[in-house]
Amino acid sequence: MKIGFCICGSFCTHKKALKAMKELSEKYEIVPVLSERAANTDTRFGTHDGLISAVTDICGREPVTTVEGAEPLGPFEPLDLLVICPCTGNTLSKLASGVSDSSVTLAAKAALRADRPVLIALCSNDALGANLKNIGSLLNRKNFYFVPMYMDDKEKKPHSLVADFSELENCIQAAMRGKQITPVFSKR
Distance CA 108, CA 64 (A): 13
Question: How many CA atoms does the CB half-sphere of 15 hold within 13 Å?
Answer: 5
Does 59 score more than 90 pLDDT? yes
Residue 184 forms part of a structural domain: no
- How many domains, the chain? 1
Local confidence band at 159 (pLDDT 50, 70, 90 cut-offs)? very high
3-class secondary structure, 2: strand
Looking at residue 123, its pLDDT comes to: 97
Residue 186 falls inside a structural domain? no
Q: Per-residue pLDDT for 124 more than 90?
A: yes
Average pLDDT score over residue span 146-153: 96
The reported pLDDT for the residue numbered 1 is 96
Q: Which domain holds residue 11?
A: 2-176
Mean pLDDT, residues 62-80: 92
Predicted model pTM: 0.97
The whole-number pLDDT of residue 74 equals 80
43 SS3 class: strand
With contact defined as beta carbons under 8 Å apart, do 171 and 81 qualify? no
Q: Is the pLDDT of residue 75 over 80?
A: no
> Cα separation of 93 and 138, whole Å?
10
Residue 82 CA to residue 111 CA, distance in Å, equals 7
Whether 77 is covered by a domain: the verdict is: yes
| CATH number for position 6 | 3.40.50.1950
Q: What is the pLDDT of residue 76?
A: 83
> Region 41-61: what's the mean pLDDT?
97
pLDDT computed for residue 5 by the predictor: 98
For residue 188, being part of any structural domain is answered with no
Residue 188: is its pLDDT beyond 80?
no
Query: Among residues 160, 182, 172, which one has the least CA distance to residue 85?
Result: 172
**pLDDT at residue 29 greater than cutoff 80:** yes
Mean pLDDT of 81-90: 98
Does residue 95 fall inside a structural domain? Answer: yes
Nearest Cα to 162, choosing from 10, 5, 34, 39?
Answer: 10
For the chain, percent of residues with pLDDT exceeding 70? 100
Is residue 185 situated within a structural domain? no
Interatomic CA distance for residues 65 and 37, integer angstroms = 9
pLDDT at 187: 83
20 burial (CB, 10 Å; 0-12 / 13-18 / 19+) is buried
Residue 104 falls inside a structural domain: yes
Residue 135 near residue 126, CB atoms below 8 Å:
no
Please, what is the average pLDDT of the chain? 96
Considering only the C-alpha atoms of the chain, give the largest distance between any 2 of them, rounded to a whole number of Å. Answer: 47
